[in-house]
Structure 1
Amino acid sequence: MTKRLLIRATPTIRKKVYDFLRQQILLGQFKPRERLVENRIAAEIGTSRTPVREALHSLEMEGLLEAVPRVGYVVKPMTKEEVEEICQIRMAIESLAGEWVLQRARQRAIRELKKNIARAEERLARGRVRDFVELDAQFHEILARCSGSSRLLEMAQRLRSHMLRYRIQSIYSAENVARAIQGHKAILEALETGDSQELAKAISKHIEISKQDIIRYALGD
């Protein structure tokens, strides 16, 4: 574990342990199939075993961990089929978000997305490729948030979070980032013209390219 979290006994201790371990998994600090040892985690973050055990169980229920007999909890690897399924759902949800953005907050979305793209291009020009992972997440969150639906935003956030650890691995070169930024620009252009069909196409194409990058560079297929 690369970071240390010292926790005091509070009513929210299980939530704090859960949030910490979840973040470490999503950021790739724990690798696929890596074993999470209850005693070791409790000692490292300064708490008892009970909240750690409860957090590990919650992470299993969420699909991030897998309970293996006589081994314990290990980080659950994502399969090609799961990546394809999540991306298909994302295409549907984010296309719906785009449709609602056109109806509810088009100009706001355009302003915020333009700023996001400008920051991404500036980071790329400076060779800070890894910064794009966060900016990519922010781009899609802006789109979901401007839809005006808290339920859609929650679903979109959860789907993207499951992909985060693999998205980080797939953003490995300036070429990949430049291609992703072009996808963002195509989405922005469709928003500016107000064409809902072109917007849905741009969103789906961008997610499809991201999916192929994850399968190729993160899953090794």
Structure 2
Amino acid sequence: MSPSDQTDDESPPVAKSAANLRELAYAQIKHRIITCELRPGDAINESQLAALLGLGRTPIHQALHRLEMEGIVTILPRKGVVVTPLSLNDILDMVEVRVTNEQLCVKLALERAHESDFKAMHAILDRTPDMLARRDVPGLMALDLNFHLAISAAARNKVLAELLRGLHEKQARFWFLTISDISHSERIYQEHREILAALESRNTEAAVAAIHDHIDDFRRAITRSL
């Protein structure tokens, strides 16, 4: 059969399957790094990882190169792959960048948010008490990210949203360690409620102060844990 005789449905499934495997490998490896199953400085063996995840070497290899571009792993020529270590100074540098941009984000959200944005934020936070009761650390971490992504969505600035998502993901490994402290998790929940209340009231001063205090609490928790 010539290429011109092929239907549109014959070739895409192969490509889609390969893409799905790449995305699965990427998501699985990243999750293990963020939740500190693979800790900073750990060596990654591609063969062992492929066996663990039930995937081939190719999607694992591609996923690791993508994670290297994000700065999450480091590929050392002729030595292998390691989870990129982060120092306290690295974290504090990211916190400085994050606090400035999160404050900009809430200011834009105050100007541009719709009622549907606030409903989405409430829906996220309403799930928190149950996860606190169950001490579901991965779930709480996901809710924290989703809450901040919802604020970014309300700000309606794609460049800012991608910048903040990247900062959240790079900090997530250390945040995972601090959220294991249930008292800190409860504070995060209350801080999120205060941020949302300020946004809904369109109170710029209160919203900026609430997001600043929230990130500063994260900075203090990280400093204590390292």
TM-score of Structure 1 vs Structure 2, range by shorter chain: 0.7 to 0.9
Q: Where does the alignment leave 5 or more consecutive residues of structure 2 unmatched?
A: 1-13
Q: Which residue number in structure 2 is paired with residue 71 of structure 1?
A: 79
Q: Which residue number in structure 2 is paired with residue 23 of structure 1?
A: 31
Deviation at 1:93, TM superposition (A): 2.1
Amino acid at match of 2:193: K
Q: Which residue number in structure 1 is paired with residue 11 of structure 2?
A: none
Alignment TM-score, normalising by the size of structure 1: 0.81
Deviation at 1:106, TM superposition (A): 4.7
Deviation at 1:78, TM superposition (A): 1.4
Counterpart CA distance in 1 for 2:217 and 2:107 is 21
Q: Which residue number in structure 2 is paired with residue 155 of structure 1?
A: 163
> Is the contact between residue 105 and residue 147 of structure 1 (CA under 8 Å) also seen in structure 2?
yes
Structure 2 residue 216 is the aligned partner of structure 1 residue 205: no
**1:203–1:141 Cα change, 3 Å:** same
Q: Which residue number in structure 2 is paired with residue 141 of structure 1?
A: 149
Larger Rg over CA atoms: 2
Provide the secondary structure at the position in 1 that maps to 2:155.
coil
Deviation at 1:194, TM superposition (A): 1.4
Counterpart CA distance in 2 for 1:14 and 1:185 is 37
Deviation at 1:191, TM superposition (A): 1.3
Deviations 1:84-108 (A, max 9, x none): 1222222222222211211111533
Deviations 1:108-163 (A, max 9, x none): 33333333333223433x34352422221221111111112222222222211112
Alignment TM-score, normalising by the size of structure 2: 0.80
Structure 2 residue 53 is the aligned partner of structure 1 residue 42: no
Considering only aligned residues, what root-mean-square deviation do their CA atoms show, in Å? 2.5
Counterpart CA distance in 2 for 1:19 and 1:102 is 32
Deviations 1:167-221 (A, max 9, x none): 111112331122112211221222133121321121111011112212322xx2x
Amino acid at match of 2:98: R
Q: Where does the alignment leave 5 or more consecutive residues of structure 1 unmatched?
A: 1-7
Q: Give me the identity figure in percent.
A: 28
Counterpart CA distance in 2 for 1:44 and 1:118 is 35
> Is the contact between residue 101 and residue 109 of structure 1 (CA under 8 Å) also seen in structure 2?
no
Aligned pair count reads 210
Bigger Cα displacement from structure 2, 80-89 vs 101-110: 101-110
Q: Which residue number in structure 2 is paired with residue 119 of structure 1?
A: 127
Match of 1:55 among 54, 63, 85: 63
Deviations 1:15-66 (A, max 9, x none): 4433332232223221121111123233444555444334323322321112
